[in-house]
A and B are shown apart, each in its own frame.
Chain A
Amino acid sequence: MNLFEIIQFLIEQLVFDYTVRTVALGCAVLGIVSGALGSFAVLRRQSLLGDAMSHAALPGIVIAFMLTRSKSSLVLMLGAGIAGILGTLLFIAIVRQSRIKEDSGLGIILSVFFGFGLMLLTFLQRDPDSRQAGLNSYLFGQAATLLVSDVITMALFGGVALLILGLFWKEFKLLSFDRDFGASLGFPMQWLDILLTTLLVVAIVIGLQAVGVVLMSAMIVAPAASARQWTDRLSLMVVLAAFFGALAGMGGAALSSLGDGLSTGPVIVLCISAIALFSILFAPNRGLIWRWVRRGRNRRRLRVGAVLGDLRTLALQHDDPHHAHSIEVLRAMSLGRGGVEASLKVAQGRGWVTEVTPGEWALTDAGILETERFVSADLGVTTA
């Protein structure tokens, strides 16, 4: 199959294949919700809290199953959510009440909760009933097991979370940007903090079944980090993050339906990571490529300016602004800045200098004007 055929096949699958469509829809929902809420987590420097929360959810899932013997995703999600919130509260208590710093607190919660979950999981697995419950799929996610009813549950929870996000939009913005100022206005920042953190737990819980506890944090961080590169507006960032999340979710779901043995979770994470990499490199203004181009252009401009300045300094010694000098002298004056010849060529192209005789250069009238402008703009480049 060539690339075109693959894409065609993928689209056909997405449109016509019932299972793939369900899975893709589910992954899109999770991408939207985690992208939108992840934006706030990333801006509040809570990227790794998402990681800790999703790991902390594992024992909740197992205990929920142990208590109810139900495989319904609603029940398991509830257990995951409670454990996630419990883990977060413990994390806050540890960091607030003791000298233990955030990073260690997160590490403790993440690893101990997850270890406890694994212990329970393996304890359960002696019992054949539980083995079939597919609890294992929560480790790496098994989007293929998503049913329509699961997707509806996800959409419902996600919809409510997004609705609340919209309702408290300006309060959440205040919380994320300037908490103290918000408190001085009389908003109950503590409660808003708890509310927003709970919404983040909802976003994580929604994704667990498809992406798994191990990789869920990527769905919180990567869409937001990608979106941030494209815009300087919070509202647009949230929308873009949701879009990227959905794109990765659907794309990942479709791609993983291609080959056997491709878990959905890792494929979705690779998709969103690719989007993040692309954004960091190519996003206009902020992107690295842009920055390099801009920096290169600046450096070239400075070099040309420096050579012009040197020519002027030399010419002034002869009381003749058009006095020509050899490129060797200019090289010596450039103090290892390099690129003298290239700079002269650029300046020649703009009509600022002429090569009077081979290797001998002089300023033109336009060049003299340009030099004045340059020197007054940036005194640093005139060599004394």
Chain B
Amino acid sequence: MSAAAEIQLIAIAVAIACALPGVFLVLRQMAMMSDAISHTVLLGIVIAFLLIGSLDSPLLILGAASMGVFTVALVELLNRTQLVKQDAAIGLVFPALFSLAVILISRYARGVHLDVDAVLLGELAFAPFDRVTVLGIDVARGLATMGVILAVNIILITLFYKELKLATFDVGLAAALGFSPALIHYGLMAVVSVTVVGAFDAVGSILVVALVVTPAATAYLLTDKLKRMLVLAMTIGALSAISGYWLARVLDANIAGSIATMTGVIFGLVFLFAPDRGMLSLALRRLRQKWEFAQTALVIHLSNHEGKPSWEHERRVEHLSEHVHWEHDFAENVVQRAQQNGLISRRGNELSLTDAGRLRAQEALVA
């Protein structure tokens, strides 16, 4: 397999592996926890490295992942003291642990292949040089690691799909049905931690956040169904990975940075042009609704005063700008539209409701 193909495969595996737990983080409104975890796992790696003395041991992943879970627990512990709010607790915990890691590396682990820039930025371009043999096949280590993590994520999320779904949308019900929300919560956090550690090598810590949060959030703009959101998030992640790789290649820039940029570009496109929730369709819908809404307001206004002493006064067009606070031109425009739609009739400056108009007013008030 060519180096380019291998790099892309790793990037895709990372993107998909991140998108899966990312969907649940986004839905549970804990996206920033991935930011915290992606920083603190470094401390886990460093401590495990200092204890074991090797960077190749699988124990490293274990150490790092437990640091991720520890971070979550620490944030919750702080939050529970009620001395600081949740957001401040996150903001206190992860910079401290990350700083500790950076200092430990610069003091005790220098010269080892564990430099801070790589942790932060990732160096996907060099991934094909680091090789292992798995089942007699020679592959890049990153590909093997991420392949395993991806497989585990898929299996876990398939197995516990029902529980995760329930715990995400209805914590109370989940607890009542006997699923421990805390167990599911920490399980998810463990998955996030392991994924983050694996993704570290490839894309670096901060860009993990881009792959965890952005595709999932993008998918959230496109669908209401959890299954579809998972599939969309994975697809968007993979698309970002491939396009990001080629962008980096064209610019001769950092691959991870380019992938993150592409997640942003795709998000931006969806944010603007998504069929239902995009800004464009929203603006169009609002424009259309504005006139509909104004016509309804007009017929309700008229029906409120019909048959009352104020009627002769309130039915006049010029009153609309005065009392309803509409600009004159706007009021004229609304009257014209309502007339065209057969909601009102007009003689001179006096308006009357038609039967259709009365019906519309009634329907609006009942709804």
Interface size class of A (residues with CB under 8 A): 35 or more
> Is B32 positioned at the interface, with any CB of A under 8 Å from its CB?
yes
> Is B5 positioned at the interface, with any CB of A under 8 Å from its CB?
no
Set of chain A residues within 8 Å of B29, measured between Cβ atoms: 101-104
> Is B4 positioned at the interface, with any CB of A under 8 Å from its CB?
no
> Is A205 positioned at the interface, with any CB of B under 8 Å from its CB?
no
Q: Which of A139, A218, A265 is in CB contact (< 8 Å) with B120?
A: A139
Is A280 within 8 A of B85, CB to CB? no
Give min CB distance, A216 to chain B, whole Å: 9
Binary contact readout A172-194 vs B (1 if CB under 8 angstroms, 0 otherwise): 00000000000000000000000
Is A126 within 8 A of B252, CB to CB? yes
State which residues 101-115 of B face A: CB under 8 Å.
102-103, 106-107, 110
Set of chain B residues within 8 Å of A45, measured between Cβ atoms: 85, 87-88
Is B103 within 8 A of A270, CB to CB? yes
Given contacts A104-B217, A112-B267, A116-B260, contact A48 B90 (CB under 8 A): yes
Set of chain B residues within 8 Å of A270, measured between Cβ atoms: 96, 99-100, 103
**Interface of A (DSSP majority class):** helix
Set of chain A residues within 8 Å of B116, measured between Cβ atoms: 140
Is B95 within 8 A of A269, CB to CB? yes
Given contacts A98-B271, A104-B31, contact A47 B87 (CB under 8 A): yes
**Interface of B (DSSP majority class):** helix
**CA–CA, A213 to B296, complex, Å?**
52
By beta carbon, the residue of chain A nearest B282 is A97
Q: Which of A106, A136, A266 is packed against the most chain B CB atoms within 10 Å?
A: A266
State which residues 333-371 of A face B: CB under 8 Å.
none
> Is A170 positioned at the interface, with any CB of B under 8 Å from its CB?
no
By beta carbon, the residue of chain B nearest A229 is B83
Is A116 within 8 A of B264, CB to CB? yes
**Number of interchain pairs (Cβ within 8 Å):** 213
Q: Which of A111, A214, A288 is in CB contact (< 8 Å) with B210?
A: A111
Binary contact readout A106-148 vs B (1 if CB under 8 angstroms, 0 otherwise): 1110111111111111110010000000001001100000000
Give min CB distance, B250 to chain A, whole Å: 10
Q: Which of B32, B107, B252 is in CB contact (< 8 Å) with A261?
A: B107
Interface size class of B (residues with CB under 8 A): 35 or more
Set of chain B residues within 8 Å of A94, measured between Cβ atoms: 271
> Is A257 positioned at the interface, with any CB of B under 8 Å from its CB?
no
Is A221 within 8 A of B100, CB to CB? no
Is B251 within 8 A of A123, CB to CB? yes
> Is A259 positioned at the interface, with any CB of B under 8 Å from its CB?
yes
Is A119 within 8 A of B258, CB to CB? yes
Given contacts A119-B254, A126-B252, A261-B106, contact A48 B32 (CB under 8 A): yes
Is A122 within 8 A of B257, CB to CB? yes
> Is B184 positioned at the interface, with any CB of A under 8 Å from its CB?
no
Is B102 within 8 A of A266, CB to CB? yes
**CA–CA, A206 to B100, complex, Å?**
23
Is B206 within 8 A of A55, CB to CB? yes
Q: List 13 A-B contacts (CB under 8 A).
A: A48-B32, A103-B26, A104-B213, A107-B212, A108-B267, A110-B209, A111-B210, A119-B247, A220-B91, A263-B102, A266-B98, A273-B99, A276-B96
Residues of A within 8 A of B (CB): 42, 45-48, 50-51, 55, 94, 97-108, 110-123, 126, 136, 139-140, 214-215, 217-218, 220-222, 224-225, 228-229, 259, 261-263, 265-267, 269-270, 273, 276, 280, 286, 288
Lowest 7 A-B CB distances belong to which pairs?
A115-B260, A112-B264, A118-B257, A111-B210, A119-B257, A218-B95, A107-B213
| Given A119-B253, A214-B98, 11 new contacts (CB under 8 A) | A47-B87, A103-B31, A115-B261, A122-B253, A123-B251, A217-B95, A261-B110, A266-B98, A267-B99, A269-B96, A270-B100
